[in-house]
């Protein structure tokens, strides 16, 4: 796909936004390897030196793109509705998988270990923490309501992460056909529920 310059929000003063948008497009079109500061500058239609005003290196731009992905994931999970906390946990799982299906390249970037030191990028660390805080809140509500039997919120959160990231990996790798995603999610959640429901 062409990386020729195009008009962006930068012409209205938002260089950082234009570069993050360009970086996200490059990840979507070419994968992580295709994202460089020079390529992002070209895609955004700015000089090769322009990105350095906001991003000292490639990892910083990758972290900003990842942070945007986590904010979007948090936003969709925060809208989860249900009559019981356990129902909301299920909806969160479905929203998570839908995000992975809709944004496979971005999902791979977010969970692929490309930026291993989250603490070096506070914006990314905060966005990722926000997403997991939403999950922790619903898990705590489910435990208090008696929907889930567990002594540790963290243990349930880790279980949810393992299950969702495992399913998502199968989805983005094409091992679960799109039409089977809802039924696969229900089947796996049903098995997990048996281990979490009160005895």
pLDDT tens digits in sequence order for the chain, 199 residues long: 444 444 444 454 689 999 999 999 999 999 999 999 999 999 999 999 999 999 999 999 999 999 999 999 999 999 999 999 999 999 999 999 999 999 999 999 999 988 988 999 999 999 999 999 999 999 999 999 999 999 899 999 999 999 999 999 999 999 999 999 999 999 998 888 888 877 6
CATH number of the domain bearing residue 117: 1.10.357.10
Q: Residue 8's pLDDT is what?
A: 44
Number of domains the chain is built from = 2
Which of 56, 73, 95 marks a domain boundary?
56
Q: Residue 199's pLDDT is what?
A: 61
Give the DSSP per-residue string, the chain.
--------GGGGT-HHHHHHHHHHHHHHHH-GGG--HHHHHHHHTS-TTGGGGT-SSHHHHHHHHHHHHHHHHHHHHHT---SSHHHHHHHHHHHHHHHHHH-HHHHHHHHTTSS--GGG-HHHHHHHHHHHHHHHHHHHHHHHHTSS--S-HHHHHHHHHHHHHHHHHHHHTTSS-GGGHHHHHHHHHHHHHHHHS--
Instruction: Give me the domain span that covers residue 157.
Output: 59-196
Let me know whether 36 and 106 are in one domain.
Answer: no
Let me know whether 63 and 51 are in one domain.
Answer: no
Contact 185, 167 (CB under 8 A): yes
Let me know whether 64 and 41 are in one domain.
Answer: no
Let me know whether 154 and 123 are in one domain.
Answer: yes
d(CA 167, CA 74): 18
- pTM for the whole structure: 0.88
> Is 4 domain-assigned?
no
Contact 63, 52 (CB under 8 A): no
Q: Residue 13's pLDDT is what?
A: 65
> Is 97 domain-assigned?
yes
> Is 1 domain-assigned?
no
Q: Residue 194's pLDDT is what?
A: 84
């Amino acid at each position: 796909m062409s990386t020729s310059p195009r008009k962006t929000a930068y012409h209205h003063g938002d260089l950082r936004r234009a570069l993050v948008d360009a970086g996200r497009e490059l990840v979507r079109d070419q994968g992580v390897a295709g994202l460089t500061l020079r390529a992002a500058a070209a895609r955004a239609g700015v000089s090769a030196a322009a990105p350095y005003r906001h991003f000292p290196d490639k990892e910083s731009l990758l972290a900003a793109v990842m942070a945007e992905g986590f904010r979007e994931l948090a936003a969709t999970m925060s809208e989860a509705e249900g009559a019981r906390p356990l129902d909301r946990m299920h909806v969160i799982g479905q929203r998570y998988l839908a995000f992975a299906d809709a944004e496979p390249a971005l999902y791979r970037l977010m969970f692929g270990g490309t930026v291993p030191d989250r603490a070096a990028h506070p914006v990314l660390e905060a966005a990722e923490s926000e997403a997991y805080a939403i999950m922790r809140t619903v898990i705590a509500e489910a435990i208090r309501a008696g929907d889930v039997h567990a002594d540790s919120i963290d243990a349930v959160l880790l279980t949810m992460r393992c299950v969702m990231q495992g399913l998502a990996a199968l989805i983005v790798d094409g091992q679960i056909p799109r039409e089977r995603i809802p039924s696969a999610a229900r089947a796996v959640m049903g098995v997990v529920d048996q281990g979490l429901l009160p005895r």
